Structures are given as structure tokens and as C-alpha cells.
Amino acid sequence: MAVGEGIRRSSVPRDEIFVTTKVAGSDQGRGLTRHGLEDSLRRLNTDYVDLLLIHWPNPSRGLAVETWQEMLELHAEGLVKHVGVSNFLPHQLEELYQATGVWPVVDQIQLSPALARTEVRAFLAERGIVAEGWRPLGQAEHALDQIIVHTIAERHGVEPSQVVLRWAVQQGAVVIPASQHRQRWLSNADLFSFELTDQEMIDLATIDLGEAKAWDANTHEEW
């Protein structure tokens, strides 16, 4: 309810606010996806959302395709401005496209220098799908503790978190880091006053733990 209350109290025009919500695992499937969105619209006190994502493919249920089909219908009705997915692997994206002829506009994936997801990002880029990084600071993979990250940060006079986020920006990804502290918001947004060199990008590639360390959407499911 907090987001909906914020929208209600804000003096910012609705078309200047970008609202993203997700289809939970329990809302996958014909009819359920629509019901879940309608509930979100009511709680958000808005007539539409800007982006609707399938949270996880949840392959054991086999409902991703019909969920995607219903999302396209919701888009056609104007209830959703853009449709995308989260945590989908290339073969799972292919299934959606083969059934509908439409690629998601976004795939929100686990992404940081410590989980570079090089092959997944290449697949997305070739199809015009935006890569959006969740957990972009790589805390679980200790990206901010790496010596090379601190060395680069000192060289540019910025925070280690800014280096990690700037890496993603230079890879063409969208990042939305979370923080409860205003100073962190400002720091995380200040990514365009410096640029990583080609050598620094190469150096950051050395902390990539590889695809095997990312949560596997073939087996990991959330409801």
C-alpha cells in the first residue's frame, strides 16, 4: 500500500512516474494474471502500470507461455504499457517468442561484475531486449569487497558502489539499486561524471564468478 499512498500524495504527474510490478508465481496462468494485475492496480491507485514482469518462469508449472499471452492482452487493453520478464534464460525466452512472435522488452536478471552473465546479455542484446540488473551491487558475491573495485574507485574519486554500477551502465544494462539512505540514493545516481576505461572493464572481468553462481531459473522457483 505504501507505493500507492506515495502516488496519491505526490504532486508529480502520473505520466512522470514509472511504475513496475510483477506477476507472482501464484498469479501465473489464464485469468489469474489478469486478476493479479487488477488487484495491483487497485492497491496502487492507478489505471495502468508502466511495466509488468513475470517474476520467475517456474518451469515446473508450465504456465509461462499462457501467462505471457494474457500479459499481451493486458498490454493491448492499455492496462500495461510494457511487458517483460525477470530471471528468464535464453531458452525460456525462446518459448515465449515461438508462441506469440513477441519478445519481452526487458529481462530483469541477477547482474553485477561478479555475475557478468555475458552469454545471457549477448542473447538479449541481439534481440533488442533490455537487461535490467537486480542485486546490481553484487553483495552476495562480495563484489564491493574486491581489491580491484576499491583501486578503481580511488583512481576516480568515487565510491566502490559507483564503480560496480557504472560497470553495468557501460555494459548497456539498466540498474535500480535499493537503499534506505538518501546519501546512497544520490551516490548511486551519480554514475555519469566518470567513465571506466577499457582496461578497467577488463580488470573487472576478473571477478566474474561465472554463470554457475547465478540462481538457476531451470530449478529455482518463487511464488
CATH T-level fold of 1-104: TIM Barrel (3.20.20)
pLDDT in tens, 13-45: 999 999 999 999 999 999 999 999 999 999 999
d(CA 77, CA 175): 29
Do the beta carbons of residue 58 and residue 221 sit within 8 Å? yes
What are the residue ranges spanned by the domains of the chain?
A: 1-104, 134-223
Angular region, 17: left φ>0, alpha ψ -120 to 50, beta rest: beta
pLDDT in tens, 116-141: 999 999 999 999 999 999 999 999 99
pLDDT of residue 7: 86
d(CA 7, CA 143): 34
pLDDT of residue 1: 54
Residues of the chain with pLDDT under 70: 1
Choose among 51, 39, 56: nearest CA to 216: 56
pLDDT of residue 150: 99
Give me the torsion for CA of 187, 106, 109, 131, rounded to 10°.
-60
pLDDT of residue 3: 86
Per-chain mean pLDDT for the chain: 96
